[in-house]
Amino acid sequence: MSLTSQTVVVTGASRGIGAAAARALHARGATVALLGRDKAALADVTAELGSRAAWFVADVTDSESTAAAAKQVLDRFGQVDSLVVNAGLNLPGTVRSPAADQTFATIIETNLIGSYRTLHAFWPALEASKGYILLMSSIASSVGLGGQTAYAASKAGIESMAHTLRMETAHLGVTIGAVHPWFADTALLHTGEAAMPTFAQTRKRLAPFGRIPGPVGLIGLTLSPEEIGEVMADMVEKRARKRHVPRSSGWMNTGRPVLNSGYGEFVQQAIFGWMMKRIDKETR
């Protein structure tokens, strides 16, 4: 599907993967509506894009803010053909962290509920255009990583939401996709590694193996926002159902019955148990 004459909304577009996706979509001819909370950063990215781009303030944790942004986008462009639901955050910590319950609630509210709130606000326009919705999940939806419980739960919820929404919306002509990236060089990763120096050191040691398919290589792999943004733009063009980035990480999805079995967890604990003890202390 050519993106020329198509209007695509991108949330969390002020920086990182969202900004990269907005650039990639714009380069392919789309008119792009950039949503986020940081007015200055949104204005900078929009100015860089020039024509066929505009920014709108939206806080995905607030229904009124999200609904207002949806109305403003429609008033400005008259249509929404695709929605890229990218906005999210991560706050590393373990169950023993002092503020673990508040952290869990904040991440679920932003990543999972915020994603549903966003697509619901734009739903009338997407139903009218028989549009496409791309949800940001993660490889964390397939396999757990200590210190990332809330993030993994939110991304697994998004993956499940994508599967269920396909059943709800197929007869309406609306298509649902989900993208599952590996670690990306964004503020989310930097925040996590600052809180978990042991994790950061381990990934740094394994970085030379980063492009080798398999668990060791993937742990050392860091993707650029631009790599993921291009895949997302490609998915919007093709109205794709699901993509893992890189593709080599897809085996973790198909291998979930083994990875999440008693045997799989035993092996993971044997390999990474020493790291988890340190991460628990660091996040506390």
Catalytic residues: 151
Q: Cis bond leading into 92, ω under 30°? A: no
In the three-class reduction of DSSP (H, G, I as helix; E, B as strand; rest coil), residue 53 is classed as strand
Rounded to the nearest 5°, which phi and psi values hold at 240? Answer: -75, 150
Q: For residues 120 and 99, what is the distance between their CA atoms, to the nearest angstrom?
A: 30
* Whole-number Å distance between alpha carbons of 87 and 74: 20
**Quick one: which of 177, 186, 163, 174 has its CA closest to 135?**
177
- Which tokens hold the place of 82? 């695709």
DSSP type of residue 90: -
Residue 22 near residue 82, CB atoms below 8 Å:
no
Q: How far apart are CA 58 and CA 93, in angstroms?
A: 27
- Buried b or exposed e, range 91-127, using 16+ CB within 10 angstroms: bbbbeebeebeebbeebbebbbbbbbbbbebbbebbe
Identity at 15, one-letter amino acid code: R
Rounded (10°) CA dihedral 269, 154, 204, 264 = 20
**Cβ–Cβ < 8 Å for 92, 148:** yes
- 2 CB-near residues (< 8 Å, 6+ apart): 29, 237
